[in-house]
């Protein structure tokens, strides 16, 4: 929005020429998201407390989590505002990539909102199967839309393969279920990771930073050619979306750091997972998502392995508790220690992912 309002004024004042640069707008989108979070955070926490929208701690969690009972949840409201508003302000709204990213994020956020509201009546919420089906359905609909109305028609159903240059297989009709699996898988992985104060939102900030770089180089004709990745005109605007996500995560972390004053809730975790998943899809870096979100993958795998091992051994457990962050809690690690160490691992995964751009 600001691009259209202020960039034409460069004829009268040279400083407005800055609005042509994605890097400038991306930086200030992050700052805007951060400021919005700082301003709205205390108000939202107060309103959620007044409405009685607090965390319900299940009996299947470590006993230390009992003290978190009643802490305001549904912090996804703050996350969505922190992503959507700065994106609308600082990005070019004539670029289809931006609108698809916003749509997917809000859509996943709505699914999470329904689950959070349901949890106020019952600790089970929508239930794992119903929630997964809702995510999968949303992904299938977005997949159909991108198949019929792609943002980059020349690469509509293609994806990138790690470590291979100029190799972009065409998935054709299978691109639709592929999109659904990426969105559902990413949003679920973030949802599973959201179990300790600041853990998921900190890791998401790291992942958003990595994809802001990937978005920028994908939309830059010379850099994309140099790196042998797909160039997609307009994809650079997704870096504004990603830095908005970064700012939103950092702002939310201010209130979500231990001891948390507010929780993401499913509304926040599913929205963040959907946002990251759609950026990976739109930049054709879906497979790289496995490395960028390496720790989210570890968390999801720990749950899958725990269930399989429990069934195969008739009642034995591979971990003390899953997801794996609870395993380390029961091993005696302090919550803040687990979170910071996992952030460090997440940062290493992100740096490894970015290094693959040259390993081709």
* Separation in Å, CA 110 to CA 102, 107, 194: 12, 5, 17
Q: Identify the residue with better confidence: 32 or 360.
A: 32
Total domains in the chain come to 1
Report CA Rg, the chain: 20
Q: Is residue 114 part of a domain?
A: yes
Inside any domain, residue 99: yes
Q: Does 333 score more than 90 pLDDT? A: yes
DSSP assignment of 239-302 equals HHHHHHHHHHHHHHHHHHSSSPSS--HHHHHHHHHHHHHHHHHHTT-TTTHHHHTHHHHHHHHH
At 360, is the pLDDT very low, low, confident or very high (cuts 50, 70, 90)?
low
Q: Tell me the β-bridge partners of 280.
A: none
Cβ proximity of 75 and 44 under 8 Å: yes
86 near 29, Cβ under 8 Å? yes
Least confident of 3-7, 176-180, 213-217, 333-337: 3-7
Residue 31: inside a domain: yes
Sign of CA dihedral 234, 240, 246, 251: negative
pLDDT band of residue 128 (cuts 50, 70, 90) is confident
Residue 62 in any domain: the answer is: yes
Domain assignment of residue 205, yes or no: yes
User: Tokens in use for 100?
Assistant: 């698809």
Q: If you average pLDDT over residues 242-257, what whole number do you get?
A: 97
Structural domain of 7: 2-355
Q: Using CB atoms within 10 A of its CB, is residue 162 exposed (0-12), middle (13-18) or buried (19+)?
A: middle
In this model, does residue 60 exceed pLDDT 70?
A: no
Torsion of CA 253, 330, 266, 133, to 10 degrees: 140
Look at residue 48 and tell me if it is in a domain: yes
pLDDT at 178 over 90: yes
Q: At 171, list the tokens.
A: 């998935």
pLDDT band at 107 (very low <50, low <70, confident <90, very high): very high
Residues 296-300: what's their mean pLDDT?
A: 94
Supply the pTM of this predicted model. 0.94
Q: Tokens representing 239? A: 């870096």
Please give the structure tokens belonging to residue 278: 């759609």
Position 307 pLDDT exceeds 70: yes
pLDDT exceeding 90 applies to what percent of the chain? 71
Q: Is residue 253 part of a domain?
A: yes
CB 244 within 8 A of CB 275: no
Write down how long the chain is: 360
Instruction: List all residues 6 or more positions away from 72 whose beta carbon is below 8 Å from its beta carbon.
Output: 44, 45, 48, 49, 53, 54, 55, 261, 262, 263
pLDDT, average across residues 93-120: 93
Q: Judge whether 360 lies within some domain.
A: no
């Amino acid at each position: 929005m600001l691009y259209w309002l202020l960039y034409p004024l460069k004829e009268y004042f040279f400083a407005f020429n800055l609005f042509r640069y994605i890097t400038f707008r991306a930086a200030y989108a992050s700052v805007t998201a951060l400021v919005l979070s700082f301003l709205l955070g205390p108000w939202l926490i107060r309103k959620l407390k007044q409405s009685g929208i607090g965390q319900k701690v299940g009996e299947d969690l470590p006993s230390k989590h009992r003290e978190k009972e009643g802490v305001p949840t549904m912090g996804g409201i703050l996350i969505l505002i922190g992503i959507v508003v700065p994106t609308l302000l600082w990005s070019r709204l004539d670029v289809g990539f931006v609108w698809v990213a916003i749509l997917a994020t809000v859509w996943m956020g709505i699914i999470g909102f329904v689950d959070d509201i349901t949890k106020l009546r019952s600790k089970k919420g929508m239930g794992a199967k119903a929630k997964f089906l809702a995510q999968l359905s949303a992904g299938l609909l977005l997949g159909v839309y991108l198949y019929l109305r792609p943002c980059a028609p020349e690469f509509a159903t293609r994806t990138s393969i790690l470590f291979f240059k100029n190799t972009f297989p065409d998935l054709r009709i299978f691109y639709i279920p592929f999109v659904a699996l990426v969105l559902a898988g990413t949003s679920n992985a973030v949802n599973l990771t959201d179990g300790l104060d600041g853990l998921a939102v900190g890791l998401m900030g790291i992942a958003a930073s990595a994809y802001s770089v990937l978005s920028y180089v994908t939309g830059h004709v010379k850099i994309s050619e140099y790196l042998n990745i797909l160039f997609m005109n307009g994809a650079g605007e997704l870096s504004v979306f990603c830095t908005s996500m970064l700012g939103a995560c950092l702002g939310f972390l201010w209130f979500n750091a231990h001891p948390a004053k507010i929780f993401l809730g499913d509304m926040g975790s599913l929205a963040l997972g959907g946002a990251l998943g759609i950026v990976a899809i739109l930049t054709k870096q879906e497979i790289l998502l496995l490395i960028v979100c390496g720790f989210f993958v570890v968390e999801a795998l720990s749950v899958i392995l725990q269930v399989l091992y429990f069934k195969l051994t008739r009642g034995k457990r591979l971990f003390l508790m899953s997801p794996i962050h609870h395993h380390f809690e029961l091993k005696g690690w302090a919550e803040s220690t687990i979170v910071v160490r996992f952030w460090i691992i997440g940062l290493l995964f992100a740096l490894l992912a970015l290094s693959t751009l040259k390993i081709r």
